[in-house]
Chain A
Amino acid sequence: MKTVNMMIVGVGGQGSLLASKVLGHLLLTQGYDVKVSEVHGMSQRGGSVVTYVRFGDKVYAPVVDKGEADFIVSFEKLEAARWLSHLKKGGRIVTNTQEIEPMPVITGAAAYPDHLIEKMQEKGVQVDALDCLSLAEQAGSSKAVNIVLMGRLSRYFPDIPEEAWQEALTACVPSKYLELNRRAFALGRGEM
C-alpha cells in the first residue's frame, strides 16, 4: 500500500496534539506503520502549528513535504490556505470555517483574505468546510473542535470501521470528557 500523507494544521492551543494522538492510535490498531511528527514549544503560543501523520506498509520520513498531502485537516480557514502548497494534486482539505485573526491582522498591518474556500475550490481543490466551532459548542464545549474534525475526517476512510474510531477516542480522551467528545465526533461525522 502506498503511504497516505495527512497534515493537521491550526493555531497553537486549538488541540491539534489530541487529534494527532487519536489518529496515531487508530492507525496503529489498523495494522499500519505510522509516523506522527509534532512541533512543541514556541509556536504553541498562538502561532501557526502543523502536525504530520503518515501511514502505510513502511513509513520513512516523519514529515510531509510540498505537493505530498492526501489530506489537510485544518482547524482554521487561513491555516488551510497557508499550507495549501503541501496538498497533493487531487488531495482534499477538511476545514473548520472559523476565522482566528493573527496578530498582523489585529494590528492592521495585514488583511485577512476574503473568500478563501471559494478560491481554493477555483484551484480545483476538494474542500469540505464546516462550522466546527458551532458543532463543538452544540456537543458541549468549544474546545471539542478537534474531535468534530476527526468525525468529519472519518467519512473519508470507509475501510476503517466506526468502532475503531470510538475505541481510539476511549483510549486517548480523559474519561470525564469522553461523552462530550463522542457527541462532537458524531456531529462532525454527520450522524446527529
Chain B
Amino acid sequence: MKELMLGNKAVARGLYEAGCCVISSYPGTPSTEITEEAALYPEIYCEWAPNEKVALEVAHGASLGGKRSACAMKHVGLNVAADPLFTISYQGVSAGLVICVADDPGMHSSQNEQDSRHYAVAAKIPMLEPSDSAEARAFAMQAYEISETYHTPVLLKMCTRIAHSQSVVETGERVERPVIPYQKDPARVMMTKNSMQAHYRVEQRTKDLITYAEESGINRVEMGKDTSLGIITDSTCYQYAREVFGEDACILKLGMAFPLPEKLIRDFASKVDRLLVVEELDPIIEDHCRRLGLAVHGKDMLPMVGEFSQGLLAKAVGRPVPESISLPDDIPARPPVMCAGCPHRGIFYTLSKNKCMVYGDIGCYTLGTMAPLSAMDLNVCMGASCSGLHGFNKARGEESEHHSVAVIGDSTFAHSGITGITDIAYNQSNSTVIILDNSITGMTGHQQNPTTGYNLRGEPAGRIDVEALCRAIGFERVRVVDPYDLAECDRVLKEELAANAPSIIISRRPCVMLKGVPHHAPLTVDPDKCRGCRSCMRIGCPAIRFKDGKASIDETLCVGCEVCTSLCAFDAFQK
C-alpha cells in the first residue's frame, strides 16, 4: 500500500516488516517517533529505558537472546550510549541489531550539532543513511541483513529533515523469524585475549563491508548528460543536489556512510571533470576522497555549520536563486515559551526573585532562561546540573552554596541526575537541587519515564519513589512544594539555601498539557482595579498581555492556574 509517511514512522515500519521483536529507547527529538510508532505494532515489545546506554544494552541483550532488536536515540544520546557501543562492535550480535540515531543539523531542538557519522568510523560499525521515507523503511530492513551477515550492530542515521519529513512509502508484510538458539561461548567474554581476537575480526569485517559498499548497490551512481561536474552526496543533501543540479547532473549517492567505497568513487571520479562533495556538518566523505588522492571541492564552498537547503547550495555554487520580498519593519522574534499554566513558571519566578545562580538541565524548563524570567545561568547535557553545581560549589564554597541551585526535570533526573546527586551526598557539598517533577517527559511530547508509574504503552508499571531514593542516597533534607504556591516556594527555597546541608526540593505538579489535567475557566481582568503596575508581567505568562496601560487576558490561552493572582496587590484578576 502507498502511504505518505513520516521518516521516523517509515523506520518503524521497516523494523516491523523485518521481524524486529524488541525495542528499547530513550526519547529525544528528532528520534522519538521511531519507538512510538513501533509500539503501535503488538508484535514488537517496546519500552522507554531510563537512558540511551541502558537502551542499547537492552537491545543488544535481546539480540544475544536470539531476536531482532533495535534502539533509537538522538545524536547526543549516542554519547551516553558510547560506552556499550564500542564494545558491542567487538562482541557482535546473534540476531540483527539496529541502532537508530537522529542528528539535528541546525539545532531545531538540540544543544549541539555533532555529526554522528564519526561514531561509525570510531566504533567501526557500518552506518546507513536514508535520504527519504521510502529509503528509511528499506534501509531499516537492509540493516538487519547486514547485521546478521557480518555479525555487527548497524547504525541507521537519520537527520531532522528525513526523520520529520513525510514522503511516499510502499509497505510490505512482516516476516516472522525463528529465535536464534543461545549457546554459551567463552570467547564472547570481552577480556584481553578474546578482545584482541575480536578486534582482528572487526578489522576484517570492515574490509568485507568495503566490498559490500562497492558492490551491493546501496551506494549508486546516477550518470546524467552533464559530465562537467560529479557530485558525491548523502542523506538529505542528495535531494538538495537534485533540486539544484537537475536530472542532467552526475551524482554518486552514498547510502552507507561507513565504510565508504574506494573503487566506486575512483570510477565515478574518472568519468567527470570535477568533483564536489555535498554533505552537512563535517567533511567525512570529503576527507575520504582526499585520502584516495582525489581533488575535490566541498567545505571550501559549503558551510560546516548548520542545515543545508537548495537555496544555500545554489548560492554556494554560483547558481541563480529566486528574488525575495521583505518588509521594512523589524519583525519581533517569537521564541518558544513556557505554556500558560506551566508548573515550572512558579519555581523560575521564585529563583529569579531570589537572584539565584541556576545550573539548568535539558528539557522544557530550559525555557526558564528566556526573558522576563531569565532564571537560568548554565546548562550542558542531561544530568550536568547536579554534578556541575557540585563542582561549582566545591570551587567557590559558602559564597555560592547559599545562592545557587540545580534544576532538573523528573525524566532527566532518572536519566542522569541520580549519579550527580549521589556525588553531592557522598562528597558533601552544601548544594540545593530542585527536581521539577511534572510527571512526564515534556519537551519530546509526553513520554512516560521511571518516575511516572506508567510504561510506554500507558500501562501501570514500576515507579521510582523520588523522596525515598533521595533519602537513601543520603539527603536528610528532602522537601516537596507545589509550584503554583509562590509563597511556599519562596519560603522553602530560602530555608534550603540557608541550611548547612545538601538538600533536595521536589517541585511537584503535572504538566498542564497532560491529558486528564483539568483546565479551569480563564480569568479576566477588572479594568477598574488594575493600576497598570505590571507586577503580573514578571512571570512571563503568554496569556497575559498589556494593552492601553492595563493587563488583559487571552482567553484562548489562559487555563485558570491563578498564579498571576498572587502577584496582584489590587485583586484585579477575577475568576
Contact = CB atoms under 8 A, between A and B. Distances in A.
Interface stretch (A112-120, A147-155, A159-167, A182-190): A112-120
Contacts of B336: 12, 42-47
A126 B546 CA distance: 32
A101 B324 contact: no
A36 interface: yes
Contacts of B367: 45
B181 interface: no
A78 B334 CA distance: 9
A4 interface: no
Nearest to B554: A100
Contact residues on B (Cβ < 8 Å of other chain), bracket: 35 or more
Interface residues of A, number: 63
B335 A103 contact: yes
A101 B240 CA distance: 35
Interface stretch (B39-47, B112-120, B537-545): B537-545
Interface string A84-125: 111111000000000011111111111111001001100111
Contacts of A38: 164-166
Contact of B4 (A36, A44, A110): A36
Given A41-B109, A67-B324, A61 B166 contact: no
A37 interface: yes
Nearest to A33: B168
Contacts of A124: 325
A24 B168 CA distance: 10
Contacts of A11: 334
Contacts of A59: 167
A47 B334 contact: yes
Interface string A39-61: 11111111110000000000111
A34 interface: yes
B397 interface: no
B337 interface: yes
B545 A37 contact: no
B27 to A, nearest CB: 10
Given A42-B443, A43-B336, A123 B29 contact: no
B109 A84 contact: no
Contacts of A45: 336-339, 364, 367, 443
B1 to A, nearest CB: 11
Interface string B123-165: 0000000001000000000000000000000000000111011
A66 interface: yes
Given A40-B29, A61-B239, A68-B322, A110 B327 contact: no
Contacts of A81: 327, 329, 331
Given A84-B325, A116-B327, A123-B327, A39 B108 contact: yes
Contacts of A34: 4, 166-168
B164 A111 contact: no
Given A45-B364, A61-B239, A84-B327, A103 B546 contact: no
Interface of A: 11-13, 24-25, 28, 33-48, 59-63, 65-68, 78-79, 81-82, 84-89, 100-113, 116, 119-120, 123-125, 133, 142
Interface of B: 2-4, 29-30, 32-33, 108-109, 132, 160-162, 164-168, 236, 239-240, 242-243, 309-312, 321-339, 364, 367, 370-372, 443-445, 537, 540, 542, 544-546, 554, 556
20 contacts: A11-B334, A13-B339, A24-B166, A25-B4, A34-B4, A36-B166, A42-B109, A44-B336, A45-B339, A45-B364, A47-B337, A62-B132, A62-B239, A67-B322, A85-B324, A104-B332, A105-B332, A106-B537, A116-B327, A125-B325
Given A35-B165, A81-B327, 4 more contacts: A46-B336, A46-B337, A61-B243, A108-B537
